[in-house]
Structure 1
Amino acid sequence: MTDKIDVSVEAVCAAYLDLADRHAPGLVEGLYLQGSAALGDFTPGVSDVDFVAVIPEGADVEPLREVHARLKERGRSPHFDGLYVTWDDLRRDPEQTPARPGVHAWRFEAESRFERHLVTWHVLAQSGVTVRGPAVAEVGVHTDWDLLARRTRENLAGYWTRWAEKSSRTTSLWGLAALVPARTSWGALGVTRLHHTLAAGEVTSKTAAGEYALRLFDERWHRIVREALRIRKGGAALYRNPFARRADLIAYMRMVLANVP
């Protein structure tokens, strides 16, 4: 492993490969990291380890169920979440590839669409960390910026706009959930990350997205952005009143959504 990563990330990768090589010899031909570990934003105790593992076409994948069950039993933290692909899958539009094994929150599924989308492929091509196999640049990972940009705008106009509107209904389940600190981080940094993707032409981390917002947006929004970063990274709370924090969160998200590049 040539890239510098957090020791807990290195430990869970080593444990996984040890189990894979013992229970399914020769099955895992490549292992790459995407997500926060690849984007330099891994936060112990908060972030998951997002992996992409390469297996041969037509391989028996059932041994992987045992591998992930045993990895969970070892009590490894953080979660080791990801998907299995073939080398050819990585060179194609992920939407056109078949469902293959995936793991989320320790749950293994033999056929899954989890994380099988252009964002994963772009992060892998842009910043992927090689744990096993050829360097990412040699793999020829498929990218399509125009399509990714279009889907990013659709995501903002659809999922995130609905998220903000539902969370603004103060007495609804969504509105009550928006009082939880983690929802502030998810909402504020989520829309900002996509805004930055469209503005910069690359996928960024949540922390870098927050720093981008502090540079770009008016000072009136800095408190809620700093609170979102604080929730992710730690530190003293900037709000005593969760209702005030929710109001600022919704106002900030609406502002970002109204100013998509």
Structure 2
Amino acid sequence: MIPRVPHVILPLLQDYVQLLISQLPEVVYGIYLQGSIVLDGFVPERSDIDFITIVSRNLTPEEINQIDLIHEKLKNKHDYYSVMEGQYTTLDHLRRTADLERERFPKYFYGKCMGLTKGQIDSTALWILKNHGLTLFGPNARGLEINVSWPDLLNAMKYNLHKYWTEKADNYELFLQDNWVDDTVLTLGRIMYTLEHQSVITKDQAGDYLVQMLPTEWHALIYEAMRIRQGKRENGHFPSIDERAARTQSFIKYIVNVCNEQYQLEKVSH
């Protein structure tokens, strides 16, 4: 039994660890979880399984192929593999001292191999790993030398607001889909909370936070996002998905403006 891991995904993670350390024992340094699982916010059918696997050196083409075969085995055996998301990297990338020009590591997104990356880990994932990471194999996550600080996390929040969500706000068709309403509203709530408290919370907690912090005119949309997140079928908050989509677009612009004014954010360019 791995503490804090929901029982529905435990067989998948046990197989993942066993296959990696049995087939690549000289390569695997540590296997870790970050994301909703370690924040105690994992929701079956809604949450990702976010992993970071640290290898002891740069990988050979044969080892990369072997890793991909391991993931194929997991895909064929476990339904929850479809939400497995993460990447392979080295300790130097956690320290941010790696040679980015030469190194390449596999990355997986919703169970699919996305090819090779330079091994860089985004600041939010590093922050969660450093402060809440769960160890599946190897040295304890809390003892890893992870080079991430509040300015790094702040810059990630600014990028999410000014680049990612600002660009998404113009795509009306996205917000006709339930999952985009849920993800948009609650993720923006997490960003607001992070800017205020310099820590990260779950999407469910973000919904409660938004209800406490925002005017009642936004509560219908927040409750709608929470309804979707919780898998409830009844929809009494909006007469149509078109109206809900337009409201979600307005919500993005509202939150971006509130955060800019309240926290005096300067725009970032990436």
TM-score tier (shorter): 0.7 to 0.9
Do the aligned residues in 2 keep the contact of 1:82 with 1:115 (CA within 8 Å)?
Answer: no
Shift of 1:74: 0.9
TM-score for the superposition, normalised by structure 1: 0.88
How many residue pairs match? The answer is 253
Aligned-partner residue type, residue 50 of structure 2: D
The one of 198, 202, 205 aligned to 2:202: 205
| Closer, same or farther: CA 178–109 of 1 in aligned 2, 3 Å | closer
Shift of 1:257: 1.1
- Per the alignment, residue 125 of structure 1 pairs with 130
Write the deviation string for residues 55-106 of structure 1: whole angstroms up to 9, x where unpaired.
1113433210111111111133142211112223222278969442211122
Do the aligned residues in 2 keep the contact of 1:35 with 1:123 (CA within 8 Å)?
Answer: yes
| Closer, same or farther: CA 91–3 of 1 in aligned 2, 3 Å | farther
Q: Distance in 2 between matches of 1:84 and 1:99?
A: 9
Do the aligned residues in 1 keep the contact of 2:175 with 2:181 (CA within 8 Å)?
Answer: yes
1:12-51 correspondence runs (5 A): 12-51=12-51
| Closer, same or farther: CA 53–28 of 1 in aligned 2, 3 Å | same
| Closer, same or farther: CA 108–158 of 1 in aligned 2, 3 Å | closer
- Per the alignment, residue 143 of structure 2 pairs with 138
User: Is 1:185 the counterpart of 2:189 in the alignment?
Assistant: no
Q: Distance in 1 between matches of 2:205 and 2:99?
A: 27
Task: Indicate the RMSD between aligned Cα atoms, in angstroms.
Answer: 2.3
- Per the alignment, residue 70 of structure 1 pairs with 73
- Per the alignment, residue 54 of structure 1 pairs with 54
Provide the secondary structure at the position in 1 that maps to 2:88.
strand
Do the aligned residues in 2 keep the contact of 1:3 with 1:130 (CA within 8 Å)?
Answer: no
Q: Distance in 2 between matches of 1:105 and 1:10?
A: 17
Most deviating of 58-67 and 251-260 = 58-67
User: Is 1:244 the counterpart of 2:243 in the alignment?
Assistant: yes
- Per the alignment, residue 214 of structure 2 pairs with 217
Shift of 1:184: 0.7
Unaligned runs of 5+ in 1: 167-173
Unaligned runs of 5+ in 2: 264-270
Write the deviation string for residues 1-28 of structure 1: whole angstroms up to 9, x where unpaired.
6532211232211011122234333432
TM-score for the superposition, normalised by structure 2: 0.85
